[in-house]
Amino acid sequence: DKGVPILRVWQHASSGQYCFQYCEGLAFLIDGAGERIWAQWIEGVSPELVTAFLLSQVFAFVLHLRGCTCLHASSVVVDGRAVLFAGNPGRGKSSTAAAFSERGCAVLADDVSALRLEPGVGLLALPGPARVCLWPDSAEFVYGGGAAEQLPEFLPWENKRLVRLDQSPGKHQQEPAPLAAVYLLAPRSDDPGAPTIEPLDQAGGLLELLINGFVSSALDSEHRGREFL
């Protein structure tokens, strides 16, 4: 509304460093190898805001530079293997992960799920911060009435609630897990037959993975191609 881009990303021609500049008044500088990050912000920007951007888009980009693929997905561990739930905002990724955790399946990551190809092992899903962030109605659905009022806000303007998993044994797994499946969550439906599970063909599945890549707007064609070799 102010005519300023929400996010600008560019790479310095000579140093190879990347810069993420946000309209809120903070910026991150990342070296070309993804080994060092510098942060700078103006007065009035809260540490919570800096941490929120650092743990999402910036770290996802760093992981990409280190050879990982990041999906806009939440992940849980079922029988020792990682199951990812991907989809557009509002599809229920975090809510599904939280519901699984209440049924004895540890959460691996929320909102950003990183995958790494391990020689001789296959694709591993990596752990993220020990938390899930839920809208108030989702928190009430998963944890019962009154839960939203008891949980702290993650970011005030989003009104999401922060559920810390490090305070409850078995709720979060800190070790990578072999990838078992990726489920794409479709829009919510009033169909009495819902929910249903339908397989995707290889071409459709690849397209959906590309669409649901994290920090996709910060990746050029060369970067995007490298993720799916």
Which range is least confidently modeled, 13-17, 54-58, 128-132, 153-157? 153-157
Report pLDDT for 102.
92
- Per the CB < 8 A criterion, the answer to whether 132 and 152 are in contact is no
Residue 128 phi, psi (nearest 5): -115, -165
Q: Is the pLDDT of residue 219 over 90?
A: no
Torsion angle, alpha carbons of 57, 62, 68, 69, to 10: 20
- pLDDT at residue 135, as a whole number: 92
Read off the pLDDT of residues 9-57 as tens digits, 9 standing for 90 and up: 999 989 989 999 999 899 999 998 899 999 999 999 988 889 989 988 9
Residue-level pLDDT at 229: 61
CA distance 151 to 162: 6
Query: Considering only CA atoms, which of 46, 73, 203 is closest in space to residue 128?
Result: 73
Region 131-138: mean pLDDT is: 92
pLDDT (0 to 100) of residue 228: 66
Count of C-beta atoms within a 10 Å radius of residue 88: 13
Residues whose CB is less than 8 angstroms from the CB of residue 106 and which lie 6 or more positions away in sequence, other chains included: 76, 77, 170, 171, 172, 173
Residue 128 DSSP one-character state: -
**216 to each of 58, 209, 228, how far by Cα in Å?**
12, 11, 13
Average pLDDT, the chain: 89
User: How much of the chain exceeds pLDDT 70, in percent?
Assistant: 98
